[in-house]
Structure 1
């Protein structure tokens, strides 16, 4: 303040002097000049400005000094706080790493205890993989990267390579990112270790659950109250749930209620439930081996599907049972012994052959005991050294290969005994009775001798060749047919030589060369062959190539010359008859067509003569015209019948299938047939149900069938009698019968009633009615039968099936 006071005193003194100077001038009045006054005024202004500036500067300096004192106080406090924080940060259990921006270098504060394994040098601290476990190093590196790039804070528990636990916290503040590493004390370290252990357990549990979800065995976990708490995917599929969560939510149970109650009652903490449980999975009965263990927090179980194993076990049981049943029905005696040489199975043939008691066999005696009993009963061959023979027989239980032996029994039987060791221990004994085989061989040899004699005396030529084409045997008839000597056909001669010897009689390429190819062929299948040969000598042979056993082939030749000649004569005669029949049919068809047009004209003119427009006819003329019309109509009917039969014979008749109302058809037939009934002086009795229904058939042909049958009955029925027509349905078929009370048909005539041009009625006729009926019924795939006895009338039965097609082309 002193320099300022001094400057202020000098300024005041200068002002006083200036006032003193101005005082005399003013007093002088007119003696002061204007220039002096201006100068004095300027000096006064400058001095006033200087005084004001000095006052302002004094005040500003005081304010700045006060602010400096305050700043020095704040700086002192900040330095104190920094020192205190540095003391705290400098603790050995804490270290901080800071980054200023993405490109800034890290700054390090504090240190971690050496026992943690953390490096002391700053350049080595951020190499986390060198002193942290791999999992922890990867986690902290990813967390630091997200902290610096995305400002994402984190809190981690890290494990060092020395199994020490650190806590890492990452934060962002004021544009800086920092990570604090803290070595945990006992309680915090224990809590951190528990957290790590929990994470490991959670990871292990998750891995285990993923593994359990991948297996195809249903696994479940229950709460203490028995409700489902968790299931795997296989369980959800077994109970047909959408997923595992849905199976738990919907409480879908795999095991039946009885099984669950049994598990709840028998399962303990020390002894889990283990049993086989049957249940239904996807609509099929399945078997599971269930293991359910109780825990303090509920229970857990697993089900192993053993349905295939049960099926295999059942199949094995059935196979063994079938095997036993098969062996029991064999004629060959069989016995099976276990590893202790005790009888386990025997069939009926075994018991019958050795005549053992059932009680003795059911006691499961030993193999040696059986042999001793058989020896005592005198059923085994006598041996010089019984003990050695018995030991040899029982050595099968120690042998690898099957043992066989011949037993010549005292009763004259010969047995081949096979003893085979079983893989699971024991042996199987098979007793093959060779007695019949020996007898068969003897009889076979005798039969072969008889056969050779028989072949030699056969009228057929026989030759047997071996697979290499060499002849084995031939009979005299073979040599006589082919005109060769016994030396040329001796045993061992090749078929080529036989071919050359037979060439003078037959040398066509398809002859003996073809026989040679068939005899020496290497084909797996050797079919038999038959045919006919005609030799140059005029003989006609019927040959056969017959494969025999052991790849042998037999040739047989039968002389059918006479039969062929007769057959040819009959064939020629039959061909002539066929041509004559065809000529007859052509003639009938041609004549029928030629007659149809004139008859139609005659009928038309006869009808025209009856009309009043042509003039009045007298009684005789009208009678003659009626006779002409009636005869022409009968003749036209006969011609139409002949044409129908010709069409049927030619196989060109087609049926026009329609749906026919049977009731309407019967009414139409009865009305159309009324004149014929009146002419024959008989009545028609129709018996049919009201609901006879419909049938799919040719209406015109079905109508013709009924009219022909009724006309035939009217032809045979006596005057004043009744004709019966009865109709009914059997399924889709229509069945009808026409009966009359006529004289009946003799049995010798009954077989020819369906023949054409056979007439036996009292009024005669062409005899085509029943033939047409049979043809039309056959075209409908139906049947017609006649039952008649002399003096009792005739009954014709017709069955017409309903068709499903609109049209049908008739066969011949």
Structure 2
């Protein structure tokens, strides 16, 4: 079977790839083998170095397993190193029970806190003294909380032991020399034997207890310190000896014939006994109490300040911070209990965003720490991220501490900025006003003026640059007055505003025909403001308005007389027509034919309709003229609305409409004219009935609001466009469905006028094809 050239090429490429991969694997294996040989060589060197070192490492893992060389087992007297730390005590060799328990506690503490430890142990049955230094193992050595313990052999030679024995003997001999020193000490001193009985006291002790001699004190075991909390002085000394540690306490004791405060110390002296001494600190206690009272008073006073104050001691720890300081830097209440260091305080303030933004915070923090060594107070301004501006004063104290004062100056800076803004605003306002303004000092000199002040008087602006006196200004403008005698009136207004603190005004006419009105106003800063306004046009307009007002008053009187006359002229003939029609209907002129009865009914119906229209026109006209009489009374809203709705039952039944009246007694009552309000609500209801198609629905809802009552009349009729609604509210003609003009709609304008006459408001929303909603708001 012959292969194509393409297959041969692919086969060749595949063989080449296999060859390259094999070569790469061989090279990689050689590299790994070389690295393994280097690693084994390094491990052997390190192991040899550890075996030859004076210290032996022991790795204690988190589960108690241990790893170490067998050389350590030889130091501990074991045949081989066990697998766990608890197995280092075999009962016959290894560590003692106490040393092993102490080592286990130290290992657990290091695993939890990463704190190193040191200790000394002596293996069972051995004279070796081994020193242990433990620390948390590096993650590269062992992970998971392992501890590395280094063991050192500090066994002393026989010569060293002899030297220590000789030193001990010399120390015992020196003890006798100390007896003389103790005797000469000005403070009471004593020595107790192993049985805690007094064996030696000095003369100061004898004088303090009032004894005759030291022998008497020793014989009678006279104690200087009384029993405190049920423990005698001998019992306290026994505790010091048992725990091999000095005990210091402050007690009250009778020294001679006075009660004094003593600082008593019991010092264990090995196996020999316990020594003790008492220092009279009565004066020191009094000074301490006075200092505490002074410090409490000082801190109470600092808490009343509006600025923040904090005190740091010589160890840079926060010892006190008043309320404003904690509020400014948002320190928690626990800050004073923890007494954080100065650097920690800065970290807490930075976390609360109460420090300025700096590029290198650690360096800046170290720079601030240098305040403790400063030789003079340091003052800085700190702008905080929230636009707060702090004034910081650092006062180094002689004892190495620091007093830090923080003052929030944000309000002062804001007030300063506001003042500058107000000054600029005042200047811009002065220059932008139409009035001409000038401010005069109590001495009569000009302080401020706007741009229009020189122009209105026709005086060059350069004249005011020297802040002229008011007399100089009056001399300059007197030739521009139509009557120069008015010069005195302007001066009197300025004097009254600056000296008498009274406001006055006046008006002058210039020679060019202009009329200026001026007024003096006293200012709160003691200056006086002179305002000048050109009222030439307003004077002319005022005269024209007076003439027009007279004409309007005459027209209003004519309108009133016309309305009174029209009310009579309209109602009188209409009443006569209605009266004659009723007489005809009653048969006074004889029996009427059926057709005649229909004519009479039509006449009466037209008379009633025309009466309603005339009354609506007159009420609307009187309302617009402000002459509509309103006689208010308490009107129960539910009863009133029910009556208005029932009066239109025939119209509702004629069109088969459904009227839904929603409301109850909670709607309350309103103060209104029952007749006029009934006409307003009736007109709205009539419009809803007329606009709703047969079988439609009308909703009348009553509700109470905080500001008054509300009546809603809603229908599902054809609705109106916004333009149609506007014309309807204005009383214009409404176009019918056939394009012809319909009747003039006076119901809505009259209803609005009547509701507004009651102090209410009418709102109408209408949408074409959806319906109309009228809302009546009554106070």
TM-score bracket, shorter-length normalisation: 0.3 to 0.5
Tell me the TM-score normalized by structure 1.
0.42
